[in-house]
Amino acid sequence: MTGPTPTTGADPGPDPPAFQLLNEIGIIAQLSGTRAERLLAPDLTMAQFVVLNHFHRLGGERSLVRLATAMQVTKAAMTNTIARLHAKGWVSVRPDPNDGRGKLVALLPPGEAARHRAIFLLMADLGGLGEAVDAESAATLLALLRRIRVWLDGTR
Protein backbone atom coordinates (compact mmCIF):
# COMPACT_ATOMS: atom_id res chain seq x y z
CA MET A 1 0.00 0.00 0.00
CA THR A 2 3.04 2.22 -0.22
CA GLY A 3 3.75 2.17 -3.94
CA PRO A 4 2.70 4.98 -6.29
CA THR A 5 -0.29 3.31 -7.96
CA PRO A 6 -1.81 5.92 -10.30
CA THR A 7 -5.26 4.28 -10.34
CA THR A 8 -6.45 5.45 -13.72
CA GLY A 9 -7.78 2.13 -14.98
CA ALA A 10 -11.01 0.18 -14.37
CA ASP A 11 -13.65 2.75 -15.34
CA PRO A 12 -16.99 1.96 -13.65
CA GLY A 13 -18.87 4.37 -15.93
CA PRO A 14 -19.70 8.06 -15.56
CA ASP A 15 -21.17 9.52 -12.37
CA PRO A 16 -24.97 9.99 -12.13
CA PRO A 17 -26.17 13.26 -13.72
CA ALA A 18 -27.55 14.59 -10.44
CA PHE A 19 -24.14 14.16 -8.84
CA GLN A 20 -22.31 15.79 -11.73
CA LEU A 21 -24.69 18.72 -11.47
CA LEU A 22 -24.28 19.25 -7.75
CA ASN A 23 -20.55 18.69 -7.98
CA GLU A 24 -20.20 21.37 -10.63
CA ILE A 25 -22.39 23.68 -8.56
CA GLY A 26 -20.24 23.02 -5.51
CA ILE A 27 -17.06 23.90 -7.38
CA ILE A 28 -18.55 27.12 -8.74
CA ALA A 29 -19.80 28.11 -5.30
CA GLN A 30 -16.35 27.45 -3.87
CA LEU A 31 -14.61 29.50 -6.57
CA SER A 32 -17.02 32.44 -6.48
CA GLY A 33 -17.38 32.31 -2.70
CA THR A 34 -13.65 32.59 -2.08
CA ARG A 35 -13.49 35.44 -4.55
CA ALA A 36 -16.35 37.28 -2.91
CA GLU A 37 -15.02 36.69 0.59
CA ARG A 38 -11.71 38.34 -0.31
CA LEU A 39 -13.39 41.17 -2.14
CA LEU A 40 -15.77 42.03 0.70
CA ALA A 41 -13.31 41.62 3.59
CA PRO A 42 -12.86 43.07 6.09
CA ASP A 43 -16.13 45.03 6.11
CA LEU A 44 -18.39 42.08 5.53
CA THR A 45 -18.12 38.32 5.85
CA MET A 46 -20.05 35.88 3.70
CA ALA A 47 -22.13 34.78 6.69
CA GLN A 48 -23.22 38.39 7.18
CA PHE A 49 -23.74 39.05 3.49
CA VAL A 50 -26.02 36.02 3.18
CA VAL A 51 -28.22 37.37 5.99
CA LEU A 52 -28.46 40.75 4.27
CA ASN A 53 -29.48 39.03 1.04
CA HIS A 54 -32.08 36.92 2.81
CA PHE A 55 -33.75 40.00 4.27
CA HIS A 56 -33.50 41.84 0.97
CA ARG A 57 -35.24 39.02 -0.86
CA LEU A 58 -37.94 38.34 1.69
CA GLY A 59 -38.22 41.48 3.83
CA GLY A 60 -39.93 41.68 7.21
CA GLU A 61 -38.76 40.50 10.59
CA ARG A 62 -37.33 37.13 11.58
CA SER A 63 -36.35 35.34 14.77
CA LEU A 64 -32.82 34.01 15.21
CA VAL A 65 -34.03 30.43 14.92
CA ARG A 66 -35.84 31.10 11.66
CA LEU A 67 -32.76 32.79 10.25
CA ALA A 68 -30.49 29.99 11.43
CA THR A 69 -32.74 27.37 9.82
CA ALA A 70 -32.94 29.26 6.53
CA MET A 71 -29.16 29.75 6.36
CA GLN A 72 -28.39 26.20 7.48
CA VAL A 73 -26.27 27.28 10.42
CA THR A 74 -26.73 26.72 14.14
CA LYS A 75 -28.52 29.11 16.48
CA ALA A 76 -25.17 29.80 18.13
CA ALA A 77 -23.61 30.89 14.85
CA MET A 78 -26.58 33.15 14.14
CA THR A 79 -26.30 34.76 17.58
CA ASN A 80 -22.75 35.68 16.63
CA THR A 81 -23.55 36.91 13.10
CA ILE A 82 -26.49 39.03 14.20
CA ALA A 83 -24.48 40.55 17.04
CA ARG A 84 -21.92 41.74 14.50
CA LEU A 85 -24.51 43.11 12.08
CA HIS A 86 -26.27 44.84 14.97
CA ALA A 87 -22.99 46.39 16.18
CA LYS A 88 -22.59 47.97 12.73
CA GLY A 89 -26.14 49.33 12.86
CA TRP A 90 -27.18 47.31 9.81
CA VAL A 91 -30.02 45.40 11.46
CA SER A 92 -32.42 46.18 14.27
CA VAL A 93 -33.05 43.72 17.08
CA ARG A 94 -36.02 43.93 19.43
CA PRO A 95 -37.74 41.58 21.86
CA ASP A 96 -40.62 39.67 20.31
CA PRO A 97 -43.76 41.23 21.85
CA ASN A 98 -45.59 37.92 21.49
CA ASP A 99 -42.87 35.66 22.90
CA GLY A 100 -40.74 36.59 25.88
CA ARG A 101 -38.00 34.22 24.78
CA GLY A 102 -37.65 35.51 21.24
CA LYS A 103 -36.02 38.37 19.38
CA LEU A 104 -37.04 39.88 16.08
CA VAL A 105 -34.38 40.99 13.60
CA ALA A 106 -34.99 43.35 10.67
CA LEU A 107 -32.85 44.95 7.96
CA LEU A 108 -32.17 48.67 8.39
CA PRO A 109 -31.47 51.15 5.57
CA PRO A 110 -27.72 51.24 6.33
CA GLY A 111 -27.71 47.45 5.97
CA GLU A 112 -29.50 47.70 2.66
CA ALA A 113 -26.94 50.29 1.55
CA ALA A 114 -24.06 48.04 2.63
CA ARG A 115 -25.56 45.19 0.63
CA HIS A 116 -25.83 47.45 -2.40
CA ARG A 117 -22.20 48.53 -2.11
CA ALA A 118 -21.16 44.89 -1.78
CA ILE A 119 -22.99 43.91 -4.95
CA PHE A 120 -21.43 46.82 -6.77
CA LEU A 121 -17.97 45.61 -5.73
CA LEU A 122 -18.76 42.05 -6.71
CA MET A 123 -20.03 43.00 -10.12
CA ALA A 124 -16.89 45.00 -10.85
CA ASP A 125 -15.06 41.70 -10.44
CA LEU A 126 -17.59 39.27 -11.87
CA GLY A 127 -18.99 41.45 -14.62
CA GLY A 128 -16.93 39.67 -17.25
CA LEU A 129 -18.97 36.57 -16.63
CA GLY A 130 -21.34 37.87 -19.29
CA GLU A 131 -18.71 36.80 -21.81
CA ALA A 132 -19.12 33.19 -20.72
CA VAL A 133 -22.93 33.08 -20.62
CA ASP A 134 -25.26 35.20 -22.69
CA ALA A 135 -28.38 36.76 -21.21
CA GLU A 136 -30.81 34.21 -22.62
CA SER A 137 -28.82 31.26 -21.32
CA ALA A 138 -28.54 32.96 -17.96
CA ALA A 139 -32.32 33.21 -17.74
CA THR A 140 -32.74 29.53 -18.62
CA LEU A 141 -30.08 28.60 -16.14
CA LEU A 142 -31.62 30.66 -13.35
CA ALA A 143 -35.03 29.07 -13.86
CA LEU A 144 -33.58 25.56 -13.66
CA LEU A 145 -31.48 26.38 -10.62
CA ARG A 146 -34.55 27.72 -8.84
CA ARG A 147 -36.30 24.41 -9.41
CA ILE A 148 -33.37 22.57 -7.91
CA ARG A 149 -33.24 24.88 -4.92
CA VAL A 150 -36.95 24.52 -4.32
CA TRP A 151 -36.64 20.74 -4.43
CA LEU A 152 -33.69 20.72 -2.03
CA ASP A 153 -35.45 23.17 0.27
CA GLY A 154 -38.67 21.18 0.21
CA THR A 155 -37.11 17.80 1.01
CA ARG A 156 -34.72 18.69 3.80
Partner DNA sequence: CCCATTTAGTTTAACGATTAACTATCTAAG
Partner DNA sequence: CTTAGATAGTTAATCGTTAAACTAAATGGG
Minimal distance, residue 69 CB to DNA, in Å: 9
Enumerate residues 6+ apart whose C-beta is below 8 A from 1: none
Give the one entry of its own copies, DNA, none that residue 43 binds, where binding means its C-beta sits below a cut-off of 5 to 8 angstroms depending on kind.
Answer: none
Q: In what order do the strands lie in the sheet with 91-95?
A: 61-62, 103-107, 91-95
Half-sphere exposure of 29 (CA within 13 A, CB side): 8
**Does 76 sit near its own copies (CB under 8 A)?**
no
Minimal distance, residue 6 CB to its own copies, in Å: 6
Choice between 71 and 80, CB closer to its own copies: 71
Can you tell me the distance from the alpha carbon of 71 to that of 38, in angstroms, rounded to the nearest whole number? 21
**Does 98 sit near its own copies (CB under 8 A)?**
no
Applying the rule CB under 8 A, the residues between 29 and 58 that interact with its own copies are: 29-36, 50, 53, 55
Minimal distance, residue 119 CB to DNA, in Å: 20
